[in-house]
Amino acid sequence: MKKLLLILSITLISNQIFASFPINQKSQTHDNRNILLLSLAPIPLAVIAVIAFSAGSFGFILGSIFGFSAFISAGYSIYLNLRTNISSWDWRNYFSILSAVVLGSLALLWTIIVMSFGGIG
């Protein structure tokens, strides 16, 4: 009976220790995929901005918000990319840097041009 009680208490204590300190291993490919998605976010945001710009004064405000959101998304993707250890980079990181720079600058340029001319239509 004492052995059973000892085995039960050791099991309970060891389970409590493992439950108190869970081991989380975050995969690097998951982070790379999120960085890639953030760098490609300016595409739908810019399409929504173009549609919104043609909807009058309220659409002008929404188009401006979506246009700058596209630029900020690309900038945040570059920031996350540069914070990632370069030894864990794969093709997603290189592609996301390139696409974020190109798409982010196009989104910013397009938004500024449309805002300076007062909207589309």
Residues 43-92: pLDDT tens digits? 888 888 888 877 777 888 888 888 888 888 888 888 888 888 888 788 88
- Model confidence band, residue 18 (pLDDT cutoffs 50, 70, 90): low
* Total tally of structural domains belonging to the chain: 1
pTM: predicted TM-score of the whole model, two decimal places: 0.65
Average of pLDDT values for 111-119? Answer: 77
Residue 20 resides in a domain: no
Query: How far apart, in Å, are the Cα atoms of 61 and each of 8, 28, 67, 85, 112?
Result: 66, 38, 10, 38, 13
The secondary structure of the chain in percent helix, strand, coil, rounded to multiples of 5, reads 85, 0, 15
Contact residues for 110 (Cβ-Cβ < 8 A; gap 6+): 46, 49, 50, 67
**Does the residue 54 lie in any domain?**
yes
Q: Contact, 95 vs 40, CB < 8 A? A: no
Average pLDDT over residues 17-46: 70
Domain contains 23? no
DSSP state of 86: G
Burial class (CB within 10 angstroms; exposed 0-12, middle 13-18, buried 19+) of 52: buried
Task: Determine the structural domain holding residue 81 and report its residue range.
Answer: 29-116
Query: Which two structure tokens, joined as six digits, stand for 106?
Result: 């196009």
